[in-house]
Amino acid sequence: MAEVTGSSPVAPMVKIFILKMNDTKKYDLQTLRHSAAHIMASAVVELFPGTKLGIGPAIEDGFYYDFDLPKDETGKPKKITLEDLPKIEQKMQEIVQKNYPFIHEEIDKNKAIEFFQSRNEKYKLELIQEIPDQKVSIYTHNNFVDLCRGPHVNSTGEVKYFKLLSVAGAYWRGCEKNPQLQRIYGTAFFTKEELDAYLKKLEEIKKRDHRKLAAELGLFKIYEEEFGPGLVFWLPKGAIVRKIIEDYLRNFHLKNGYQIVYTPHIAKSDLWELSGHAKFYSEYMYPYMDVEGQKYLIKPMNCPGHVLIYKSQLWSYRDLPIRYFELGTVYRYERSGVLHGLMRVRGFTQDDAHIFCTPQQVEEEILKLLDIVVKVLNKFGFKEYSIKLSTRPQKYIGDIQQWEIAENALKTALEKINLKYEIDPGEGVFYGPKIDLKIKDALGRFWQCSTIQVDFNLPQRFDIKYRTPTGKDEYVIMLHRALLGSLERFFGVLIEHYCGILPLWLAPVQVKILPVAEKYVNYAYKVRNELLYQNFRVEVDDSDNRLQYKIRDAIINKIPYIAVVGEKEEKSNTISVRTLSEQTIVVYTIEEFIKKLNLENNIEN
């Protein structure tokens, strides 16, 4: 850093430091983006004088800044809209052109308070009060001054490739009791190519948004305002996909040595006191219900229910492992602000299972689990993962030896099955180590799906044991695991991954039959019935729309096979089939077509 004489509006007499970094690549993307946030804030203040500043950090894909805008003639704070963004960008360009240096100063806290008071910056003042040091750090460019630890780029001219993206409401410090500010999101990159590639990806994300596609395809509905946010109504087209997934999961688990169980959605609060959820998980649970003077709670997890099923009889080491599987619907109190389509909801169904085993069986069980995780995720088309193993945290229960055995079991299993993983030291839950697996989607995004978790806690809380070969009763080890996680969320990921074009085995409608005229409707239904009889999902478009329109409609609805029938087809007992993506028409007899569908289904299976 170089010492220079300053001309700062805040404290003209103090020493000023300018970051001496002329090579633009010497700072990271975060620094570039955070600098862009300052430039955006100064543009907003210029365009809307009287705007008060919140905070403006760099985030994963860009930056934001929160603003409290002055009131307009109607007495309400002015609202920034998408239409304002080009104007703000234009102003930012001007600031970039001027190439103002970012000037860093360390000034007396009192001086800073005085300065921000003079500008009526109440949010900044609140932040300053919380700084323990007597000096505070500020950055200035042109006449814009911000309380900030930095670092920044040298000058505004270095922020060349940026774009403002969206506007959202955001409570000051994320708390609903505080005033709502307006947040502008943007992004910045070192090169134009990177910025363009990112904007293209954003377009693709928008195109694949599962909420938009689900509305177009009639998959699910959430009555956010009217009947409660985060609660999913599965429409028939979405529900059939869920049913296919559920059937697959049930059969898969039965084949892999699991037993299917069901547990109630509500239970007396005593269950949740015993499990510890009432104490440690209460912020995600809905309030008590009064039932005949007794307190009841709705379940946020399936685990205690499975424990009670295990507890219903005595077990010997010879009986273990016991594996219970449930498509268990749970309800969690998520703040309405964090809910998002199917990705974050208040009621959802987990493909949940609990394994009860001896300490000696843990490694073998984990190995089996990893094997089936990969099989299931592959089945849905996900082949790349990011895996984390979280180990013993500062606060934990159980003895260290037990933890080490479990952690080693997880490690050994991951290595045996040749899965790459990272260790997240100290990030395990207090009751045991865990493996988290994220899947990579078509856009390269990672989604949390599978979890495998060792638990030393619940068996002790519920006093569940097994008899050892020497006749002693020992606590059983419990493994929690979900493969897809939440069916709702997984469905959302599937829709976005496939852009709504689900593979044949999952498509809600696999074949649409289009009679070219009313005369051929009967034949169309005859074909449909033959396919239905073979368990395919088929619809007939018997509307009196023109054929071109019917084809377009089938394409919009992303139907994998479109079969046209007319005089020629009826006479030869055939169908003329085109696929969603290819216009080439192939003529099949019904038997040939059934063979083809079965083959494709089998490959997918």
Minimum Å gap between C-beta 63 and Zn ion is: 10
Cα gap 261→40, rounded to integer Å: 56
Alpha-helical regions (H) of 311-361: none
From the candidates 332, 346, 512, 537, give the one annotated as an active-site residue: 332
Torsion of CA 579, 581, 585, 590, to 10 degrees: -10
Stretch that binds Zn ion, among 5-13, 108-116, 140-148, 364-372 (CB under 5 A): 140-148
The Cα-based distances of 238 to 58, 210, 561, 596 in angstroms read: 38, 12, 19, 25
Q: How far apart are CA 586 and CA 563, in angstroms?
A: 9
429 is written with which tokens? 């839950």
Short-list 261, 238, 254, 257, CA closest to 327: 261
Least distance from C-beta 435 to Zn ion, angstroms? Answer: 14
How many Å apart are CA 319 and CA 315, to the nearest integer?
6
Q: Which is nearer to Zn ion, 300 or 503 (CB)?
A: 300
Strand partners, 347: 331
Smaller CB separation from Zn ion, 65 or 189: 65
Closest separation in Å from C-beta 105 to Zn ion = 12
Kindly indicate which of the ranges 134-142, 406-414, 484-492, 591-599 contains the residues binding Zn ion, using the contact rule CB under 5 A. 134-142
As measured in angstroms, the least distance from the Cβ of 185 to Zn ion is 17
Q: Which is nearer to Zn ion, 6 or 341 (CB)?
A: 6
DSSP secondary-structure letter at 187? Answer: E
- Applying CB under 5 A, the span of 137-145, 179-187, 407-415, 428-436 interacting with Zn ion comes to 137-145
Least distance CB 158 / Zn ion (angstroms):
14
Beta carbon nearer to Zn ion, 148 or 564: 148
Q: Binding segment for Zn ion among 297-305, 318-326, 464-472, 575-583 (CB under 5 A)?
A: 297-305
To Zn ion, the closest distance from the beta carbon of 188 in angstroms equals: 13
Minimum CB distance to Zn ion smaller for 462 or for 561: 462
Kindly tell me which of 59 and 599 has the beta carbon lying closer to Zn ion. Answer: 59
Q: How far apart are the first and last CA of the chain?
A: 62
Catalytic residue flag (residue 104)? no
User: What DSSP assignment string belongs to 349-409?
Assistant: EEEEEEEEE-GGGHHHHHHHHHHHHHHHHHHTT---EEEEEE---SS--S-HHHHHHHHHH
Report the nearest approach of Zn ion to the CB of residue 368 (Å). 17
Residue 559 binds Zn ion (CB under 5 A) = no
- What are the backbone dihedrals phi and psi of residue 240, each rounded to the nearest 5 degrees, phi first? -70, -35
Kindly name the residue from 392, 434, 489, 528 that is annotated as catalytic.
434
Pairing of strands 52-53, 135-141: unpaired
Establish if 309 lies at the interface with Zn ion (CB under 5 A): no
Q: Does 502 engage in binding with Zn ion (CB under 5 A)?
A: no
Q: How many CB atoms lie within 10 A of CB 169?
A: 11
455 is catalytic: no
Choose the binding region for Zn ion from 146-154, 219-227, 262-270, 554-562 (rule: CB under 5 A). 146-154
- Which residues in 426-485 contact Zn ion (CB under 5 A)? 480
- Residue of 52, 104, 242, 354 with catalytic role: 354
Distances 2 to 5, 31, 141, 420, 456 between C-alpha atoms, Å: 10, 19, 17, 46, 57
DSSP 196-245: HHHHHHHHHHHHH-HHHHHHHHT-EE--HHHH-TT--EE-HHHHHHHHHH
* Stretch near Zn ion under the rule CB under 5 A, chosen from 2-10, 14-22, 144-152, 357-365: 144-152
Of the residues 148, 303, 357, 449, only one is catalytic, namely 303
Which listed residue (32, 145, 148, 482) binds Zn ion by CB under 5 A? 148
How do 574-579 and 586-589 pair as beta strands?
A: antiparallel
Please name the residues in contact with 528: beta carbons below 8 A apart, sequence gap of 6 or more: 513, 538, 539, 540
Please indicate whether residue 480 is annotated as part of the active site.
Answer: yes
Looking at the Cβ atoms of 115 and 498, the one nearer to Zn ion is 115
Tell me which of 55, 214, 303, 483 binds Zn ion, using CB under 5 A.
303
Residues from 53 through 112 that contact Zn ion (CB under 5 A): none
Q: What's the closest the beta carbon of residue 78 comes to Zn ion, in angstroms?
A: 24
The angle formed by the CA atoms of residues 247, 252 and 256, to the nearest 5 degrees, is 150
Active site residue 350: yes
Beta carbon of residue 35, minimum distance to Zn ion (angstroms, whole number) = 7
Q: How far is the CB of 216 from Zn ion (least distance, A)?
A: 36
Nearer to Zn ion, 68 or 326 (CB): 326
**Count of residues for the chain?**
605
Q: Which stretch binds Zn ion (CB under 5 A): 110-118, 119-127, 131-139, 500-508?
A: 131-139
H-run or E-run covering 526: helix 521-533
Beta carbon of residue 342, minimum distance to Zn ion (angstroms, whole number): 21
The secondary element (H helix, E strand) that includes residue 303 is helix 303-310
Count CB neighbours of 546 within 10 A. 11
Instruction: Tell me the window of 133-141, 311-319, 430-438, 519-527 that interacts with Zn ion (CB under 5 A).
Output: 133-141
Per-position x/- string for 152-171, each x denoting binding to Zn ion as judged by CB under 5 A, each - no binding: --------------------
- Active-site choice (68, 146, 351, 352): 352
Site size toward Zn ion (CB under 5 A) is 4
Catalytic residue among 350, 361, 402, 510: 350
Instruction: Name the residue nearer to Zn ion (CB basis): 324 or 520.
Output: 324
Among the listed residues 91, 299, 346, 480, the single catalytic one is 480
- Name which of 332 and 528 has its Cβ closer to Zn ion: 332
Instruction: Write out the H or E segment, with its range, that includes residue 595.
Output: helix 590-604
* Residue 147 within binding range of Zn ion, rule CB under 5 A: no
- Tell me if 186 sits within 8 A of 163, measured CB to CB: yes
434 in active site = yes
Question: Among candidates 64, 43, 33, which has minimal Cα distance to 182?
Answer: 64
Q: Are strands 294-298 and 266-268 parallel, antiparallel or unpaired?
A: antiparallel
For Zn ion, the binding residues (CB under 5 A) are 139, 148, 303, 480
* Active site members: 303, 332, 350, 352, 354, 434, 480
